[in-house]
Amino acid sequence: MAEKLVGIVMGSDSDLPVMKEAAEILEEFGVGYEIVISSAHRAPEKTAEYARQAVAKGLKVLIAGAGGAAHLPGVIAALTPLPVIGVPIRSSFMDGLDSLLSIVQMPSGIPVATVGVNSAKNAGLLALQIIGSADSEIREKMINYKQGLAEGVEKKNSLLQEKGYKGYLSK
């Protein structure tokens, strides 16, 4: 695997089905990462150590997923100079809105970029764009990725125009 540039952190193993999407997109781009479980509440010392050592380990961006009180991204952001991307994890309470608000409402001086609820893939893509701002190879891969998205939309539109909405929906 390539040099680890992204740290993916989650507060619980129950977050892994969501957070794996960040790992998958990083793998698609050939960017190395590490993935760990470290709770801001149940293992605060381990979490603090992880955040403080991230730079020395060569990481460039951290992605932190958390549900409920969702303190993990903010705690990590308070302890590292690296960009932190928060992924609110859907919980049974408020369908993840509580997690989203916990992550997005950070105090002044402690920014956390926040993606949508359960949007770990977007967190991975944002991490790639951050890395790509200084890495032309990753930037070129992102340009190609976005071109692929546009081509996919055009193919769907062509099919819609060809078949009409009824034919399109029956496919």
> In Å, how far are 1, 15, 61, 69, 141 from 150, measured between CA atoms?
29, 30, 27, 37, 14
Direct distance between the N- and C-terminal alpha carbons of the chain, in angstroms, rounded to an integer? 40
* pLDDT for the residue numbered 3: 94
Name the band, by pLDDT with cuts 50, 70 and 90, for residue 171. Answer: confident
Residue 28 and residue 77 in one domain: yes
pLDDT digits (tens, 9 = 90+) for 3-55: 999 999 999 999 999 999 999 999 999 999 999 999 999 999 999 999 999 99
pLDDT for residue 1 is more than 80: no
CA distance 99 to 145: 29
Residue 68 and residue 40 in one domain: yes
Burial level of 70, CB count in 10 A (0-12/13-18/19+)?
Answer: buried
pLDDT digits (tens, 9 = 90+) for 47-75: 999 999 999 999 999 999 998 888 999 99
Residue 152, domain extent: 136-171
* pLDDT for the residue numbered 73: 97
Residue tagged 């809105």 (tokens): 97
pLDDT digits (tens, 9 = 90+) for 103-128: 999 999 999 999 999 999 999 999 99
Residue 50 and residue 38 in one domain: yes
Are 86 and 114 contacting, i.e. CB atoms less than 8 angstroms apart?
A: yes
Q: Nearest to residue 6, comparing CAs of 28, 19, 23?
A: 23
Q: Which of 15-24, 51-60, 92-101, 151-160 has the lowest mean pLDDT?
A: 92-101
Residue 30 and residue 102 in one domain: yes
Amino acid 52 reads: R
Amino acid 43 reads: A
Q: Nearest to residue 107, comparing CAs of 64, 139, 78?
A: 78
Kindly report the pTM of this predicted structure.
0.94
Helix or strand (DSSP H, E) at 71: none
- Average pLDDT of 138-167? 97
Show Cβ contacts of residue 84 under 8 Å, excluding neighbours closer than 6 positions: 61, 62, 63, 64, 73, 76, 77, 111, 112, 113
Structural domains counted in the chain = 2
Residue 44 and residue 122 in one domain: yes
Residue 102 and residue 155 in one domain: no
Backbone angles phi, psi at 76, to 5 degrees: -65, -45
Show Cβ contacts of residue 155 under 8 Å, excluding neighbours closer than 6 positions: none
Residue 110 and residue 157 in one domain: no
Average pLDDT, the chain: 96
Residue 82 and residue 106 in one domain: yes
CATH number of the domain to which 21 belongs: 3.40.50.1970
